[in-house]
Amino acid sequence: MHLQDPYTIPYKGIYAVADRKNEHVEIMEHSNCYGGSAWALYHYSKSPLVMKSRAVGDLMRYLVKVGTSSLALRSSTAAAGIESVLVNDDEIEITYSGLGGGGVGATTCRAYAKGVLRCNITESGGGKRASGTIVVPRRERVLIGIDNTDSKEVGATWTLAHNIADAVDSNEHKYISHTLVQLYPVPDKTQNCVATVLEFACTRGAREELLDMIKEGLLEYSVSQETGMVALSDFDASALMEYSRLCRSKMISKELTLKTAQENGVEICIGGKGIIGALAALPWFSRNDESVAI
């Protein structure tokens, strides 16, 4: 047996999106070892900067305030945390600290992840307190709602949406999540009346290319004449929740959809009847367990 580095498990990727005012950042860490990441999630959640944390599959998501904090690390109970998050133009700098094995996670495991531009780490492991700073690109969240790509005879919107998203995934527009959203079962539904929202984390200037590629894929592979595709670039989509809950409770008009989209800065990319459900899907991104039930 030969282990190249027996005491390091690099994360598959680390990405960070910032809000428009650079006041809040969501750090998303793609785990290579769920056990270690679950331990980190528990301990990091106690950091003063962390407002909310959760695991979605093997993706650990931390909503944090931008700034610095002083971590009072304690063995076993608060053994690691996020010490600072700073936004500098097109980059985000994140500093982690930890004790013992938590220090290994705070340093080498994160420093060698995909998406990291630069790092500065101390020695870690054993009984040491260690710190690591990584620099990642500042990204914006781009949400894409899709519905009505299939027919009574063939297809499923959620599979096509995922396969297109996976095909266009890149460092510039990173595919983060895929969420199915149950809609009100209208009479002209194909079968289950489910829309899809895709979440991407885009570097500066990458949004338009992403939307063009997804639109191209949908136009090529959709078997419906009523395909809908909408896009929103924002830190969240909570302003659309009232519309979404309405759409998930009864039939609504396309006119209401167009009016709501315009009022909330949502771009209509493909304008078939599917935009009704596509718009309703946006606020449920990465809320997979809640979105599948009416």
Task: State pLDDT tens for residues 56-100.
Answer: 999 999 999 999 998 888 887 878 999 999 999 999 999 999 988
Please report the pLDDT score of residue 188 as a whole number: 59
- Between CA 133 and CA 83 the distance in angstroms is 9
Mean pLDDT score across all residues of the chain: 92
Domain end: 91, 120, 138, which one? 138
Are 109 and 222 found together in one domain? no
Are 159 and 222 found together in one domain? yes
Residue 285 lies in a domain: yes
CB-side exposure of 74: number of CA atoms within 13 Å?
Answer: 5
Residue 183 lies in a domain: yes
Lowest average pLDDT, out of 34-38, 115-119, 146-150, 188-192, goes to 188-192
Q: Where are the alpha helices (DSSP H) in the chain?
A: 34-44, 101-106, 108-111, 157-168, 207-221, 241-247, 254-263, 275-281, 288-291
Domain end: 138, 168, 187, which one? 138
Are 284 and 163 found together in one domain? yes
Residue 17: give the domain boundaries.
13-138
Place of tokens 């194909």: 190
| Strand, helix or coil for residue 140 | strand
Lowest average pLDDT, out of 55-59, 127-131, 180-184, goes to 127-131
Given a contact cutoff of 8 angstroms between Cβ atoms, the answer to whether 59 and 19 are in contact is: no
Is pTM, for the whole model, over 0.75? yes
Are 42 and 80 found together in one domain? yes
Local structure of residue 193 (DSSP, 8 states): -
Please report the pLDDT score of residue 191 as a whole number: 54
Give the model confidence (pLDDT) of 4-21 as tens digits: 888 899 999 999 999 999
92: CB partners within 8 A, 6+ apart: 16, 18, 25, 85, 86, 135, 136, 137, 138
Instruction: Residue 190: give its domain's CATH number.
Output: 3.30.70.2200
Residue, of 117 and 292, whose pLDDT is higher: 117
Give the model confidence (pLDDT) of 203-243 as tens digits: 999 999 999 999 999 999 998 898 999 999 999 999 999 99
Are 32 and 117 found together in one domain? yes
119 alpha-carbon distance from chain centroid: 23
Please report the pLDDT score of residue 172 as a whole number: 97
Are 157 and 87 found together in one domain? no
Residue 222 lies in a domain: yes
Are 153 and 287 found together in one domain? yes
Residue 2 lies in a domain: no
Give the CA distances from residue 75 to residues 80, 127, 257, in Å, rounded to whole numbers and listed in that order.
9, 10, 53
Lowest average pLDDT, out of 65-69, 109-113, 154-158, 234-238, goes to 154-158
Give the model confidence (pLDDT) of 263-284 as tens digits: 999 999 999 999 999 999 999 9
Residue 236 lies in a domain: yes
Number of structural domains found in the chain: 2
Residue 203 lies in a domain: yes
- Between CA 276 and CA 153 the distance in angstroms is 22
Residue 18 lies in a domain: yes
Please report the pLDDT score of residue 192 as a whole number: 56
Are 154 and 124 found together in one domain? no
Domain end: 81, 109, 138, which one? 138
Residue 8 lies in a domain: no
